[in-house]
Amino acid sequence: MNHQSRIEAANWSFSWRLTESAGIMVYLADYRGRRVLWEGSLPYVTVDHQRSLLAVADDVLDAAADARGPWWVPLGARNLVDTVRVQQFRGGIELSATFAAGPYHYQQIWRFHDDGRLSPWLTIYGSGVHDQHTYHPHWRFDFDLDGADHDAVEHFEDGRWQRVAEEGWFPHSGEADEHGHVWRQVDFGSGAAINLRPHTWDDAELFAIRYHDGEWAPFSPRSQAGAQVYPAAYLGHEELDGHDVTLWYVAHVHFDQSFPYTAGPWIKVEGLG
């Protein structure tokens, strides 16, 4: 069974491999011969539960239920169903893999379009342990647009693109530019840009974090007891302008009976044509 390879198709050239916990990782991705992505993966999908039954008379049970945290399973070889699929479609090429763990089922998709669009998505299905639960898929993107440095991150708010000065957390407030883009990473040198547009119901947010060696995709959301989970645990106040930046796209998807639901950003590369 082949769990890694290099692909050249649809104006893209990229490598991929199946990880232990972060699904299909794509790395060294070039569009029209120019570097776009050093590495991208789906480090984890945590699942939170809300109360489905009220235990009015049982304070102890109430306290225990309120204390319950999230859980997750790694998306990797141990939960892979069949194999990673590589399929061409009209105008592009797609990687996909299905993962199953009891009542949780996911299909991860990486779709590369010949016009520079990139779709790292996750289709969520399965019942969960009961209806009152929320999925939090976390994608990590280390975009290196025409090289690692000389980049800036911008967030569309108050009707215009605004430069992000330092590391932070930038939720989608509902505002977007005329193309639906909410965040973008711009390369000063070439003027090329990576634009990110969330799915409508993702309730998405973006973490922009200065890249540091060692802060690779973690093997867990949990940094330590009582502390912030990743990627928030990586946040400080470091400047971003002109530096290498890592972006985390996080969706918050509440389960409902209309599932399956597909989460993840639409990504559009501009200026590398």
Least distance CB 54 / other proteins (angstroms): 10
Question: Out of 8, 89, 103, 115, which residue is the one contacting other proteins (CB under 8 A)?
Answer: 103
* SS3 assignment for 157-180: ECCEEEECCECEEEECCCCCCCCC
Minimum CB distance to other proteins smaller for 66 or for 178: 66
Least distance CB 223 / other proteins (angstroms): 5
Q: How many CB atoms lie within 10 A of CB 101?
A: 14
Residue 38, interface with other proteins (CB under 8 A)?
yes
Residue 110: name the closest of 2, 257, 12, 225 by CA.
Answer: 12
Distances (CA, A) of 196 to 120, 143, 221, 266: 11, 12, 23, 6
Question: Out of 8, 64, 173, 175, which residue is the one contacting other proteins (CB under 8 A)?
Answer: 64
Q: What is the rounded distance in angstroms from the CA atom of residue 225 to the CA atom of residue 223? A: 7
Residue 239, interface with other proteins (CB under 8 A)?
no
Minimum CB distance to other proteins smaller for 207 or for 211: 211
Residue 252, interface with other proteins (CB under 8 A)?
no
Q: How many residues of this chain interact with other proteins, rule: CB under 8 A?
A: 49
Question: Out of 11, 12, 14, 19, which residue is the one contacting other proteins (CB under 8 A)?
Answer: 19
Instruction: Go through the chain and tell me how many residues it has.
Output: 273
Least distance CB 71 / other proteins (angstroms): 4
Question: Out of 214, 237, 256, 257, which residue is the one contacting other proteins (CB under 8 A)?
Answer: 214
Contact criterion met (CB below 8 Å) for 186 and 143: no
Q: Which of residues 141-200 bind other proteins (CB under 8 A)?
A: 148
Ramachandran angles phi, psi of 241, nearest 5°: -55, 125
Residue 33, interface with other proteins (CB under 8 A)?
no
Q: What is the rounded distance in angstroms from the CA atom of residue 116 to the CA atom of residue 109? A: 16
Residue 7, interface with other proteins (CB under 8 A)?
no
Least distance CB 129 / other proteins (angstroms): 4
Residue 96, Cα to own-chain centre: how many angstroms? 15
Pattern of binders to other proteins over 106-145, x per CB under 8 A? ---------------------xxxx---------------
Minimum CB distance to other proteins smaller for 105 or for 181: 105
Rg (CA), the chain: 19
Burial string for 153-169 (b: 16+ CB within 10 Å, else e) reads: bbbbbeeeeeebeebbe
Residues that bind other proteins (CB under 8 A): 17, 19-21, 27, 38-39, 47, 49, 52-53, 55, 61, 63-74, 78, 101-104, 127-130, 148, 211, 213-214, 216, 218-220, 222-227, 244
